[in-house]
């Protein structure tokens, strides 16, 4: 069975390894594309491009007269566009054919009208069957209802109207207009209904009599193009070909090509260099992530998110930074590192920001300045923002990032003879805006990324830990004893988490909600019972009592999902009892059973799983310690230490901590933290003497000191 289990695990690990390799390869290809494509698209080696503003004034190095293909083609296109469409002469056969069709239709309608054996329904079907003229049901009914005299007049008028209209030249572009003018052609002696019948009969038969000739039109346009002689352009030596700031037109770019000033150089060397750099970065990144497999950012989803953000920032940056003056100093690159440091840790933020800064400015004329500009302020921001527990942290990080960016600008530009005071001021203002924009963008990105990865940020944890959170209010109203217990556990666990370097905010929030399920059945739990109701479930079957107690875990998970708590917080609810026994009920069951071995332990065991992280393990230990301290009420330091040690040893010996990376040193630190917290809770109290006033004793004579 063990061998089969090992074989079944290999494919899963192998698949994840392949996926990570695939992510690395695809990311490397996209990075290479982000490095190369902006250069190829913008052709930064060419002085100017059509539609772009010239960065400098370009003079003709010598006099030249050349045939301008651009100007010649433009003139020929204008000449061709001026040619009107060519139509063939009017074809009389079309009019005759349409007139014959009308006669056939009129004869057919007359026959239908005279059919004495046909029913009304049959006649309508016969009229609807006419293919050349589609008659509506209304017109068909009118044709059958009018008298013979009116019908004869309609026949005569329909022939007259069609003949009159078809005598004119009809083209595709005026058919609709002629049809819309039919009411004006019909004799005004006809009523509205009769006129509609005539229009229905004649309108479909009005067709073009002069057809468009594409062949002759194209021939005429070609003749017009051929009539334009090649246009020559003369440029004198020293003449301005392109002025500084001028938008480059096609003829300007053509002139630059004629002088050899815009001939592209070979891009092969640049492509090879970019490929080598991409490969180096990919190898270093792979080695780094392999050494950090224990980190949360090594998961497939996290790698995809990091890679996507990296490529997005790099691609946008490469397109925006190349051949720009101010834009590179406005681009909020620091937001990338800030987001990673908030979601994961400072290390991954710094490492990935370093790679991004190198790639962003590679092969740039100001690569030294910009690489420092993108990296140093980002590191300052990451060191400032920490875990971003307040909105103000983003503002502070953005402000300090901007100040650091301004310092970099001053360091590189203050002694630059090409940068005047106005230019330096503009760059410094851009740097400050960059920092503030980075902080704002990081605030948005950390929320989006945390939702994608289901990783709660400090801001989210602060939000759900507010006393007015609906679920906390539900617990407080229904199970005030459990709520107070959770507060005590959260204080105990938070201090221990901070002592060993765990996520204290996550531990605190998890502790607040770990017993949420008790709010569904509060009276069953001792902390919510009055003194006269202690052990109210002693009369129940132990298995039923155990099931009811265990149910609070399932209820807690359901409530957490209902109120949309982060999954990391839900883990605390699932894992805070691990797979321990409800020992009291199990002891009752074994005591009552004839054969203690016959008692099914599964009925008295929490569903688990065991704690999977240091944070949930701390909560388990804090929960057990707080519950035991309320039960045993230690009166001395030795009793407190013994109580804590006994609790920790119980969970450790039961294997509940095996799935975590807690060390013996961590457990010792946790034990000491618990002791310090409980010692302050169970400090000695001073009994004040009874106060007497006018011979009467004060009923509130005792008071606790400290």
Question: pLDDT band at 324, cuts 50/70/90?
Answer: low
**Domain that includes residue 182, residue range:** 92-205
Question: What is the DSSP code (8-state) at residue 614?
Answer: H
User: Comparing 95 with 480, which gets the higher pLDDT?
Assistant: 480
435 to 169, 440, 470, 595, 624: CA distances (angstroms): 72, 9, 37, 73, 47
Helix (H, G, I), strand (E, B) or coil at 2: helix
Structural domain contains residue 236: no
Taking the CA atoms of 322, 324, 329 and 330 in sequence, report the sign of the dihedral they define. Answer: negative
CATH code: domain of residue 631: 1.10.3210
Question: pLDDT band at 431, cuts 50/70/90?
Answer: very high
Mean pLDDT of 72-99: 84
How many structural domains comprise the chain? Answer: 3
What is the reported pLDDT for 7?
A: 43
Based on the domain organization, do 323 and 436 belong to the same domain? yes
What is the reported pLDDT for 705?
A: 32
Based on the domain organization, do 32 and 98 belong to the same domain? no
Based on the domain organization, do 642 and 499 belong to the same domain? yes
Mean pLDDT of 287-291: 84
Structural domain contains residue 354: yes
Dihedral through CA 95, CA 99, CA 105, CA 106, nearest 10?
Answer: 150
Q: Which long-range contacts (CB under 8 A, 24 or more apart) does 687-693 make?
A: none
Are the beta carbons of 45 and 322 closer than 8 angstroms? Answer: no
Based on the domain organization, do 547 and 637 belong to the same domain? yes
Mean pLDDT of 215-234: 86
Structural domain contains residue 460: no
Q: Is pLDDT at 401 greater than 50 in this prediction?
A: yes
Based on the domain organization, do 285 and 183 belong to the same domain? no
Structural domain contains residue 461: no
What is the reported pLDDT for 700?
A: 39
What is the reported pLDDT for 268?
A: 76
Based on the domain organization, do 377 and 507 belong to the same domain? no
Structural domain contains residue 301: yes
Based on the domain organization, do 558 and 584 belong to the same domain? yes
Question: pLDDT band at 686, cuts 50/70/90?
Answer: low
Q: Is pLDDT at 308 greater than 80 in this prediction?
A: yes
Based on the domain organization, do 513 and 436 belong to the same domain? no
- To the question of pTM greater than 0.75 for the whole model, the response is no
Question: pLDDT band at 40, cuts 50/70/90?
Answer: low
Helix (H, G, I), strand (E, B) or coil at 240: strand
Looking from the CA of 31 toward its CB, the CA atoms found within 13 Å total 29
Question: pLDDT band at 2, cuts 50/70/90?
Answer: very low
Are the beta carbons of 588 and 535 closer than 8 angstroms? Answer: no
pLDDT tens, position by position, 210-219: 777 788 888 8
Q: Is pLDDT at 687 greater than 70 in this prediction?
A: no
End position of a domain, from candidates 403, 423, 455: 455
Calculate the average pLDDT of the chain.
Answer: 83
Q: Is pLDDT at 693 greater than 50 in this prediction?
A: no
Residue 612 CB partners (closer than 8 Å, separation 6+): 571, 575, 659, 660
CATH code: domain of residue 334: 1.10.1760
End position of a domain, from candidates 395, 428, 455: 455
Q: Which residue, 124, 189, 133, is CA-closest to 157?
A: 189
Q: Is pLDDT at 435 greater than 80 in this prediction?
A: yes
Strand partners, 67: 232
Structural domain contains residue 55: no
Calpha distance 437→399 (Å, rounded): 9
Based on the domain organization, do 364 and 507 belong to the same domain? no
Share of the chain above pLDDT 70, in %: 87
In sequence order, what DSSP letters do the residues of 117-130 get, joined into one string? SS-HHHHHHHHHT-
Strand partners, 247: 53
Based on the domain organization, do 606 and 505 belong to the same domain? yes
End position of a domain, from candidates 455, 488, 517: 455
Based on the domain organization, do 35 and 155 belong to the same domain? no
Structural domain contains residue 243: no
Based on the domain organization, do 170 and 27 belong to the same domain? no
Structural domain contains residue 693: no
Taking the CA atoms of 62, 67, 73 and 74 in sequence, report the sign of the dihedral they define. Answer: positive
pLDDT tens, position by position, 167-209: 888 888 888 888 888 888 888 888 888 889 888 888 888 888 8
Q: What share of the chain is helix, strand, coil (3-state, %, to 5)?
A: 65, 5, 30
């Amino acid at each position: 069975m063990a061998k089969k289990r090992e074989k079944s695990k290999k494919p899963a690990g192998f698949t994840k390894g392949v996926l990570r390799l695939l992510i690395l390869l695809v990311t490397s290809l996209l990075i290479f594309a982000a490095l190369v494509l902006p250069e190829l698209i913008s052709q930064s080696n060419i002085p100017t491009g059509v539609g772009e503003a010239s960065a400098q004034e370009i003079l003709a190095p010598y006099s030249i007269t050349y045939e301008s293909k651009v100007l010649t083609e433009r003139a020929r296109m204008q000449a061709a566009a001026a040619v009107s469409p060519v139509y063939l002469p009017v074809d009389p056969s079309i009019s005759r054919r349409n007139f014959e069709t009308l006669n056939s239709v009129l004869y057919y309608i007359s026959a239908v009208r005279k059919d004495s054996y046909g029913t009304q329904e049959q006649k309508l079907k016969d009229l609807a069957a006419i293919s050349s003229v589609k008659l509506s049901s209304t017109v068909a009914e009118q044709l059958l209802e009018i008298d013979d005299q009116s019908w004869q007049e309609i026949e005569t008028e329909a022939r007259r109207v069609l003949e009159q209209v078809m005598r004119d030249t009809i083209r595709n572009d005026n058919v609709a207009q002629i049809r819309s003018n039919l009411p004006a052609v019909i004799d005004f002696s006809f009523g509205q209904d009769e006129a509609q019948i005539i229009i229905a009969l004649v309108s479909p038969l009005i067709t073009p009599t002069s057809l468009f000739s594409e062949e002759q039109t194209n021939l005429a346009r070609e003749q017009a193009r051929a009539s334009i002689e090649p246009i020559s352009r003369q440029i004198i030596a020293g003449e301005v070909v392109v002025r500084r700031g001028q938008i480059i037109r096609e003829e300007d770019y053509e002139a630059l090509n004629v002088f050899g000033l815009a001939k592209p150089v070979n891009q092969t060397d640049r492509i090879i260099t970019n490929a080598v750099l991409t490969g180096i970065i990919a190898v270093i990144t792979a080695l780094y992530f392999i050494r950090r497999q224990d980190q949360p950012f090594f998961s497939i989803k996290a790698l995809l998110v990091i890679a996507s953000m990296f490529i997005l920032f790099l691609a946008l940056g490469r397109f925006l930074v190349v051949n720009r003056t101010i834009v590179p100093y406005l681009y909020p690159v620091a937001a990338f590192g800030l987001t990673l440091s908030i979601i994961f840790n400072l290390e991954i933020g710094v490492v990935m920001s370093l790679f991004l800064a190198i790639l962003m400015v590679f092969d740039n004329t100001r690569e030294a300045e910009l690489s420092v500009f993108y990296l140093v302020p980002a590191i300052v921001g990451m060191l400032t923002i920490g875990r971003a527990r307040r909105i103000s942290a983003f503002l502070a990080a953005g402000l300090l990032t901007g100040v650091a960016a301004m310092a970099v600008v001053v360091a590189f530009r203050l002694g630059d003879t090409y940068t005047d005071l106005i230019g330096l001021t503009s760059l410094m203002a851009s740097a400050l805006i960059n920092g503030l924009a980075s902080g704002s963008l990081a605030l948005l990105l950390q929320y989006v990324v945390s939702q994608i990865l289901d990783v709660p940020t400090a801001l989210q944890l602060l939000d759900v830990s507010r006393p007015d959170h609906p679920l906390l209010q539900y617990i407080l109203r229904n199970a005030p004893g459990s709520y107070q217990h959770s507060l005590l556990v959260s204080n105990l666990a938070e201090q221990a988490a901070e002592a060993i370097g765990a996520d204290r905010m996550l531990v605190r929030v998890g502790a607040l909600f770990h017993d949420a399920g008790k709010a569904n059945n509060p009276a069953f739990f001792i902390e919510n019972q009055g003194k006269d109701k202690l052990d109210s479930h002693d009369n129940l079957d132990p298995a039923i009592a155990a099931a009811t107690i265990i149910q609070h875990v399932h209820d807690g998970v359901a409530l957490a999902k209902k109120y949309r708590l982060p999954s990391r917080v839900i883990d605390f609810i699932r894992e805070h009892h691990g797979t321990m026994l409800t020992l009291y009920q199990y002891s009752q069951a074994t005591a009552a059973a004839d054969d203690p071995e016959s008692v099914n332990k599964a009925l008295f065991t929490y569903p688990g799983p065991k704690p999977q992280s240091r944070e949930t393990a701390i909560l388990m230990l804090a929960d057990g310690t707080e519950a035991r301290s309320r039960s045993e009420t230690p009166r001395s330091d030795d009793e407190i230490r013994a109580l804590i040690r006994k609790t920790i040893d119980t969970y450790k010996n039961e294997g509940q901590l095996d799935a975590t990376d807690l060390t013996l040193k961590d457990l010792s630190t946790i034990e000491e933290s618990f002791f310090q917290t409980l010692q302050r809770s169970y400090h000695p109290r001073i009994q004040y003497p009874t106060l007497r006033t006018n011979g009467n004793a004060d009923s509130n004579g005792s008071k606790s000191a400290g």
